[in-house]
């Protein structure tokens, strides 16, 4: 006896091309989330140093988490209203443009190794 699914079972067939594009989008979203966490973790000591004290680290982390908590439902609602694909593409392009802007901003400045040390020649 063979087992077949009835036509109205709700099972949707996905082509290989659709699967690859969907999986690529998920991987890109995970990459951007991981990069976001890496950037925040790297910048955290500098931010706390600018606030003059380690006791302010909880405020920085709380502000970051609050912004992420507020942003997630807003992007979700925008995805419901506009469509998930345009919102996702907007988010990826916005992150990419912000990264490029920051890279070009830092391009004209000397790197850490080119700056002279207080007691002698450059490193």
**pLDDT at 63 exceeding the cut of 80:** yes
Give percent above pLDDT 70 in the chain.
80
Cα dihedral 39→45→50→51 (10° resolution): 110
* Residue-level pLDDT at 116: 56
Region 6-23: mean pLDDT is 82
**C-alpha–C-alpha distance, residues 39 and 35, integer Å:** 6
Greater confidence (113 vs 29) lies with 29
- How many other C-beta atoms are found inside a 10 Å radius of the C-beta of residue 74? 10
Q: Are 122 and 113 in contact (CB under 8 A)?
A: yes
Report the predicted TM-score, pTM, of the whole model to 2 decimal places.
Answer: 0.57
pLDDT digits over 102-122, tens only? Answer: 778 777 766 555 555 566 555
Question: Is the pLDDT assigned to residue 47 strictly greater than 80?
Answer: yes
As given in the structure block, the two tokens for residue 85 are 């694909």
Determine the 3-state secondary structure of 111 from DSSP.
coil
């Amino acid at each position: 006896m063979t087992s077949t699914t009835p036509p109205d079972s709700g099972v949707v067939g996905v082509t290989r091309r659709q699967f690859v594009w969907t999986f690529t989008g998920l991987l890109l979203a995970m990459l951007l989330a991981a990069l976001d966490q890496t950037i925040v973790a790297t910048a955290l000591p500098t931010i706390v140093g600018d606030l003059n004290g380690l006791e302010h680290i909880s405020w920085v982390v709380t502000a970051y988490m609050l912004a992420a908590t507020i942003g997630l439902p807003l992007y979700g609602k925008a995805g419901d209203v506009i469509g998930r694909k345009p919102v996702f593409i907007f988010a990826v392009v916005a992150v990419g443009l912000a990264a490029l802007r920051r890279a070009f901003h830092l391009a004209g400045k000397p790197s850490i190794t080119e700056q002279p040390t207080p007691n002698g020649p450059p490193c």
